[in-house]
Structure 1
Amino acid sequence: MFLRTSVPVYRTTLLPRNAFNVAGNQTRHLMGFVRNALGLDPPTSPDDPTPENRFHPWDQSPSPDLRERAARIRTLARCPVTGKEINYTCPISGIPTHHSREAWEQDKEYHASKRYELLKKVNIYEHDLRSGRPFPEFDFPRDQGQDRMVNMTNWDLFLYTRAFYSMDTEFQMAAVTKMLSYPITIGSVLHQFSPYSLQPKGPISLEGLKSLAALRYTLYPMQNRLVISTTKARPMRIFILGARAESQLPGHVWKQLQYLFPEQTFEIHFIGPESYYDKDKKKYIQLTTPITESVDETLKLIYHTEYFHKLHEAQDFFPYDPYMDVFFIFHPGFASAEIGEHWMKDTMKGLLDTKCAIFTTGFTKNDLLEDIAVVQDKYGKELDILMKPTKNVFGSTKWELNDMNPQEVYQFNMYIAGFRGKRYPTIKR
């Protein structure tokens, strides 16, 4: 089982200084699209990242924080062959992995699976973020023109139809998709042109279709203008429980979600003790009252550092509305021995009580399957599955490393599933 508590979450991910420079409308270079379509290589530049110029052994890295991570791995991790401390850096990946060269050579599974190739990607992606190169891919587009349709089939078509900068390298895709994975995962589930279809061809159940239809009724009011609206005149609320890294994304990154639904206003509620990181004090802050940051008149980010079940018991969010409210939980660890019990008691009861749609992601397929199995085992009669565990079309393409086990690599939001508290039909007497 993939243990979430064994995966260090680095809240202040080092990004280039111009990473959050938001320009005006960006027109994706037509030539870049043509090159990609024809399989042609883009013109090279000395600044362009390559596996060769981004490779450095971590213990000899030009980046101090990667040298520190190498030292941390040596301190925390153990050799998978000998069980001893790690003192040897894999010459292929550049990351400390084994106790000695002999242990590295004896690790048949490591070489047979070619895990060093994924570890090397971790290495070069991290060095690229710290390289100081220009990062034009972080100049995000603004609102979508009414004459242009967004294609939610996959990352390539989404980025193209949203007029993002042409992503010509895996380095650019890795950097951008790690940030956008959170808002666009949400958007891809809720969007009318979602890549997830109804069973049996897709993962969405009939109950899932009902929940999504209710949410889309709110998200597309102009399409329902001939229908008498029963929704309240308030923003749609997106609750993100156990918020960590996602709560540190800048407002303009979350704004990409609102651009997908230009007729709707949103409140995004980040909930959990690690939901608010004070960049000046460089630590997490516990708030006595929520902090609200207004990105613009259509989007507010609201931070709550209390646990959800306490806010639920205090009725801070009442009333809930399945047409106006939805929950997302990224990598919760329901099945984790260390933190699972914190989720599976009052918090899960409160979530199911809302009768609103709940979507959750996992680092791997087994990771998510175990989470959903635990929820079903304990609350099976009280919930409906909305979305079977499936590959997340908009998972991050950037590979990450668990410092306590450098054999373990993962990607954020790789798989996704959904459920909801069961709605019982009204019985007339």
Structure 2
Amino acid sequence: MQVEIAVVLTASAVNDKLTEPSLPYIPPSSTASRQQPSKEQTYLRPDDLFHSFTNSPIPTIRQRAAVMRQNAYCPHPDHQPTHLPSSPRAAATSTLAPAHVRHECPDCGIPVACSEAHFADTYDQHLEICDLLRQINEDDHDLHSGRFFPEFEYPDASIEEAQINMQNWDTLLFTREFTAVNDERSMRQVTRLLTYPITIGSILHELSPYSIKRNGRLTSEGLRSLSALRYTLHPPRTGAGITIAGLRPNPPPVRLFILGARAESSLPREVWLQLSHLFPRVAFHLIFIGPEALANRPDDVAPPPTPGNPFSAVVEDRLGGQMKISTYATVFEALHQAQHFAPYDPYFDAFVLFHPGLGHPASSASWAPTLPILLDTKIPVICTGYTEFDMQRDIDWVKEQGGGEVDFLLEPGENRFRSLRWEVNDLDPGDVSAGNWGVWGFRGKRYEADRYEEKRGE
């Protein structure tokens, strides 16, 4: 059976963050070990990963520090605020003009204040995230340390009799027979990429950790929607074979429309193949749609429109034999109005939104025309958020804009398969978050129609 997943991005869907850290390209495992290091490659020992961003031996990190110093502002309350707060803590107002960060914290090595005096005044507030910033610093240097990354060696499909355990990262990696990850830093690096396919799989799989039991977070409406998808994702054996007698008809592919695709569209394809390994009897079609879908893929150029490909999709077919990826550098509304994906089927379709920023003031207007389309399809929508504040803001916006026509499928909460690695916003060093930290789900409200027949003889 085939499962087709479509990844959709609205035209002007702006990231809830002011900037989103781009994911590093990890070469396929078959070629990573054969690559020869450059003569100018900088090597860092595991005990020498902490360096000041400004004076880092890695040119890429020095450039990142320059971006921070040119764009990030000092968080001291004496300065006038430059943007809306990204957390419930409101910024104080003052008459002092905003100033860019210049002073680096000696403990975390990241520019966080405009001067040493202002850094001392806000030191108590900075201590809340200083350890996380130092961890981010060391993780970034680790990625550029020149070491070999065995954690990026991904296993192939397991035998069907080997059941997976999706209670947490440790049990999943063990039952999927990943190379043993015995270091916390290596675990953070590998989960940063795997969080995208595994978050989807952990919700759709029949062994999902989310259930209708107490504190299981899955609602009764969510069980109805996911049961339809699981019926397709876990089909019975059909007795198909390579002979004439073994020919069997294949059902249509299942599509997952992931809205707001950005960095996830440029993930190594070996990462997305891990999703198909969770469902060995089906094939997937990932469809990334949106203006930013090709932003981190300089080698992929949209072809000119043709009658067979009117929206200039970049198609990658037969990945691993069970996956196809199509990328549309256009808006979802245009594709929907052209009925490019119609009709939608609750047994074969679902939407996924990674950090969409639905309720963010900078992006909510662009999502306004998209939400009614999602609700009209009655297809499940899975959403993630960077933080609890970010996720709750999106939920409040959906409730307000939905006008009572929304059924919640998965109660909001922390994602069991969130990225264990923390990230810092380059435009606001005080803003620390984790990829896919929280997850929740909704769809358009369904109404049950009961038919009453008049009694005969009356």
TM-score, with structure 1 as normaliser:
0.86
* 1:234 maps to amino acid: P
Tell me, in whole angstroms, the C-alpha distance in 1 between the residues paired with 2:125 and 2:45. 27
Do 2:195 and 2:418's aligned partners in 1 also have CA atoms closer than 8 Å? yes
Do 1:363 and 1:413's aligned partners in 2 also have CA atoms closer than 8 Å? yes
* 1:97 maps to amino acid: V
1:333-372 equivalences in 2 (<5 Å): 333-344=357-368, 346-372=369-395
Of 233, 236, 260, which residue of structure 2 is paired with 1:219? 233
More helix by share: 1
Offset at residue 232 of structure 1 (A)? 7.6
Of 426, 438, 441, which residue of structure 2 is paired with 1:418? 441
Offset at residue 7 of structure 1 (A)? 3.3
Tell me, in whole angstroms, the C-alpha distance in 2 between the residues paired with 1:111 and 1:250. 35
Cα distance change of structure 1 residues 112 and 280 upon mapping to structure 2, 3 Å threshold: closer
Offset at residue 49 of structure 1 (A)? 6.3
1:185-334 equivalences in 2 (<5 Å): 185-222=199-236, 233-277=251-295, 279-280=297-298, 288-294=311-317, 295-334=319-358
Tell me, in whole angstroms, the C-alpha distance in 2 between the residues paired with 1:343 and 1:96. 34
Offset at residue 9 of structure 1 (A)? 2.4
State the superposition RMSD in angstroms.
Answer: 2.4
1:152-167 equivalences in 2 (<5 Å): 152-167=166-181
Q: Structure 1, unaligned stretches of length 5 or more?
A: 24-46, 226-230
- Secondary structure of 2:430's counterpart equals coil
Cα distance change of structure 1 residues 261 and 355 upon mapping to structure 2, 3 Å threshold: same
Do 2:16 and 2:356's aligned partners in 1 also have CA atoms closer than 8 Å? no
Matched residue count: 394
Do 1:286 and 1:305's aligned partners in 2 also have CA atoms closer than 8 Å? no
Cα distance change of structure 1 residues 286 and 248 upon mapping to structure 2, 3 Å threshold: farther
- Secondary structure of 1:406's counterpart equals strand
Percentage identity across paired residues of the two chains: 39
Q: Which residue of 1 aligns with 2:397?
A: 374
Tell me, in whole angstroms, the C-alpha distance in 2 between the residues paired with 1:5 and 1:201. 28
Do 1:93 and 1:116's aligned partners in 2 also have CA atoms closer than 8 Å? yes
Q: Which residue of 2 aligns with 1:62?
A: 57
Tell me, in whole angstroms, the C-alpha distance in 1 between the residues paired with 2:407 and 2:238. 27
Cα distance change of structure 1 residues 280 and 375 upon mapping to structure 2, 3 Å threshold: closer
Offset at residue 369 of structure 1 (A)? 1.0
Do 2:151 and 2:190's aligned partners in 1 also have CA atoms closer than 8 Å? yes
Q: Which residue of 2 aligns with 1:384?
A: 407
Cα distance change of structure 1 residues 199 and 223 upon mapping to structure 2, 3 Å threshold: farther
Tell me, in whole angstroms, the C-alpha distance in 2 between the residues paired with 1:414 and 1:356. 23
Structure with the greater relative contact order (CA < 8 A, sep ≥ 6): 1 or 2? 2
TM-score, with structure 2 as normaliser:
0.81
Do 1:22 and 1:138's aligned partners in 2 also have CA atoms closer than 8 Å? no
Larger Rg: 2
Of 69, 76, 86, which residue of structure 2 is paired with 1:74? 69
Do 2:302 and 2:312's aligned partners in 1 also have CA atoms closer than 8 Å? no
Q: Structure 2, unaligned stretches of length 5 or more?
A: 1-13, 32-42, 80-98, 240-248, 306-310, 453-458
Cα distance change of structure 1 residues 366 and 280 upon mapping to structure 2, 3 Å threshold: closer
Of 101, 105, 118, which residue of structure 2 is paired with 1:90? 105
Cα distance change of structure 1 residues 58 and 284 upon mapping to structure 2, 3 Å threshold: farther
Tell me, in whole angstroms, the C-alpha distance in 1 between the residues paired with 2:49 and 2:300. 29
Do 1:361 and 1:416's aligned partners in 2 also have CA atoms closer than 8 Å? yes
Offset at residue 111 of structure 1 (A)? 4.3
Tell me, in whole angstroms, the C-alpha distance in 2 between the residues paired with 1:130 and 1:284. 31
Q: Which residue of 2 aligns with 1:137?
A: 151
- Secondary structure of 1:125's counterpart equals helix
